[in-house]
Copies of this chain bind each other. A is one copy, B any other.
């Protein structure tokens, strides 16, 4: 059972839901990875191809998400190795946020285009 990193956490982490969420979503890739995994388990290579990200970065991001309890990692002792990633229960409970962000993001994109026409 992975625990959160013991590094200095922001004030009010674990108290204020916004501070807490912000900390977890801060990274450049967290949202994208969670979105990819929301459609089901994926292998390491699959993730790397669907997002444009280097191995090193993807690996470290996944490790964070695993430590935070959002992602479950399963390694199959085969040759060649196979590793799958999937959302945990807390990870899956993120779905409504994902949906809200998708809706809003698209609205913001429309807003951007409207700006450019002026």
Which A residues, 1 to 32, have Cβ-Cβ distances below 8 Å to chain B?
Answer: 1, 3-4, 10-11, 14-22, 24-26, 28, 30-32
Which A residues, 97 to 117, have Cβ-Cβ distances below 8 Å to chain B?
Answer: 97-109, 111-113, 115
B112 to A104, Cβ gap below 8 A?
no
Q: A1-B115, A14-B112, A115-B1 in contact; A96/B100 too (CB < 8 A)?
A: yes
**Distance A93 CA – B18 CA, assembled complex (angstroms):** 17
Residues of chain B with a CB closer than 8 A to A31's CB: 18, 21-22
1/0 contact string of A76-99 vs chain B (CB within 8 Å): 000000000000001001101111
Indicate how many identical chains form the complex. Answer: 2
How many residues of chain A get a CB closer than 8 Å to chain B's CBs? 46
The secondary-structure label for the interface of chain A is helix
B93 to A17, Cβ gap below 8 A?
no
Q: Can you give 17 contacting A-B residue pairs, CB < 8 Å?
A: A14-B109, A15-B109, A17-B101, A17-B104, A18-B32, A18-B98, A20-B108, A20-B109, A21-B31, A21-B108, A26-B26, A69-B111, A90-B107, A90-B111, A97-B104, A100-B100, A100-B101
